[in-house]
């Protein structure tokens, strides 16, 4: 394998690993957002039901 091919493979490998790391971080953030949205939605529904009474 040529040096250029090895360098290219190493570069692509690093980029793939970085994107996988970013994807994992975003997944954690997305779960936190979904949890917060659900909490706020529950609060909103509770408050709305109290005001309707």
Structural domain harbouring 21: 1-53
Mean pLDDT by 10 residues, the chain (53 residues): 90 98 98 98 95 76
pLDDT of residue 28: 98
Sequence-ordered alpha helix ranges (H) in the chain: 3-52
Terminal C-alpha separation, the chain: 76
Inter-CA distances, 19 with 1, 6, 33, 36, Å: 26, 20, 21, 25
| Number of domains comprising the chain | 1
Inter-CA distances, 35 with 31, 51, 52, Å: 6, 25, 26
Q: Provide the sign of the torsion angle of the four alpha carbons 4, 6, 10, 16, taken in this order.
A: positive
pLDDT of residue 53: 66
């Amino acid at each position: 394998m040529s040096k250029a091919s090895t360098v290219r493979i190493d570069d692509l490998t690093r980029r793939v690993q970085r994107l996988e790391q970013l994807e994992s971080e975003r997944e954690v953030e997305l779960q936190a957002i979904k949890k917060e949205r659900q909490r706020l939605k529950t609060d909103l529904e509770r408050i709305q039901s109290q005001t309707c009474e």
